[in-house]
Amino acid sequence: MKKITLSTIFLFTSTFNVAQAVSAEDQKQLEAYGWIMGKQVVDGSVAQFGFSAEEKEFLVKGVMQGAQGIGSSPIVNKEAGDKLESFLEGKATAQQKHMEAEVAKQSKLNKDNAKAFFEKLQKEGKAKKTGSGLYYEIVNAGSKEMPKADSTVTIDYVGTLIDGTEFDSSKKRGQPATFNLGQVIPGFKEGLQLVGKGGKIKLYMPSELAYGDNALPGIPAGSTLIFDVDILDIPATADKDAKTSK
SS (H, E, C) the chain: CCCCCHHHCCCCCCCCCCCCCCCHHHHHHHHHHHHHHHHHHHHHHHHHHCCCHHHHHHHHHHHHHHHHCCCCCCCCCHHHHHHHHHHHHHHHHHHHHHHHHHHHHHHHHHHHHHHHHHHHHHHHCCCEECCCCCEEEEEECCCCCCCCCCCEEEEEEEEEECCCCEEEEHHHHCCCEEEEHHHCCHHHHHHHHHCCCCCEEEEEECHHHCCCCCCECCECCCCCEEEEEEEEECHHHHHHHHHHHC
- What integer is the mean pLDDT of 133-153? 94
Give residue 20's pLDDT: 77
Partners of 160 in the beta sheet?
A: 166, 226
Q: What is the pTM of this model?
A: 0.72
Instruction: Count CB neighbours of 5 within 10 A.
Output: 12
Percent of the chain whose pLDDT exceeds 70: 88
Residue 8: pLDDT band with limits 50, 70, 90? low
Decide if pLDDT at 93 tops 90. Answer: yes
Give residue 241's pLDDT: 47
- Which positions ≥6 away from 53 have C-beta within 8 Å? none
Give residue 118's pLDDT: 96
Q: Which of 121-125, 158-162, 240-244 has the weakest average pLDDT? A: 240-244
How many residues are listed for the chain in this entry? Answer: 246
Taking only the tens place, the pLDDT of each residue in 45-87 is 999 999 999 999 999 999 999 989 998 999 999 999 999 999 9
Give residue 140's pLDDT: 96
- What integer is the mean pLDDT of 222-242? 80
Three-point CA angle 130, 135, 140, nearest 5°: 100
Residue 233 phi/psi, 5-degree rounding, is -160, 160
Domains of the chain, earliest start first: 6-73 (no CATH), 116-245 (3.10.50.40)
Decide if pLDDT at 16 tops 70. Answer: no
Question: Which is higher by pLDDT, 246 or 146?
Answer: 146
CA distance 79 to 175: 56
Give residue 10's pLDDT: 53
- What integer is the mean pLDDT of 131-145? 95
Contact present, 66 and 34 (Cβ < 8 Å): no
